[in-house]
Amino acid sequence: MFIAYNENIDDIFARHALQHHCYADDTQTYVSALPSQVQSISPRLQHCITDVASWCGSRRLQLNAVKTELMWFGSSSSSLRNLSQSNRTVVVGTHVLQPVESVRNLGVYFDNKLSMQTHVAKVTQTCFFQLRRLRQIRHLLGRDVTANVVAALVLTRLDYGNAVLAGLSYSTIAPLQRVINVATRPVYGLRPRDHFKTPPSSCPGYRSVPGYTSSCVC
């Protein structure tokens, strides 16, 4: 019913020639331009957001400026550096949106240079947190239970959205390799300095993330 209620919002984005995605509780809009046309983006977004806010008001909805984020994608050598402050920001109601360096989209963090370093750092931080918690109760668990816990709390996070990591340099995804190495140790009862071999992909519990060696938790 919510989708039917929001179906004609597509017309607003089409009128401003902006691409968009609609989710159950979130709407995203985006546009690309040549370096020579970058200065025209901010006014287009501003007019579109103003129309969306009016559309929301006519349906007793409110555009949440606090949860609205703005990001510019581009290389450091692009014409984005030459944009004035007024062309970098967008006004939503009484709030002025300042560009952010990273945003979360469907559980994946995108930074403004698409280096994916923010996403790798967030995933690594979360996985090591779970592994530290597991270390406290490892002596109470058997190997099979430990393997299931690691698969549920760590490997699923490595697997989720890993297609965005394809083609990245090893230095960027090296922290994820360290997560896999550390995650294998509690399953086999290895100490921090014990050596283990990476098993073949036919091994049960094998996990793969594009660009780095995977280990087996089985």
Nearest in space to 113 (alpha carbons), one of 75, 70, 163: 75
SS3 190: coil
Beta carbons within 10 angstroms of residue 112's beta carbon: 18
* CA distances from residue 79 to 19, 42, 101, 188 in whole angstroms, order as listed: 22, 14, 17, 52
Q: Which DSSP helix (H) or strand (E) runs through 164?
A: none
Give Cα 25 to chain centroid, integer Å. 17
Q: Which amino acid is at 74?
A: G
Tens digits of residue pLDDT in 170-216: 999 999 999 998 898 888 887 766 666 555 444 444 454 444 444 44
- At 209 the pLDDT is 42
What are the residues facing 218 on neighbouring strands?
A: none
Q: What is the tens place of the pLDDT at every residue in 70-117?
A: 888 876 655 666 677 777 888 887 888 888 889 998 889 999 888 999
pLDDT number for residue 63: 83
pLDDT digits 0-9 by tens, 52-63: 888 888 888 888
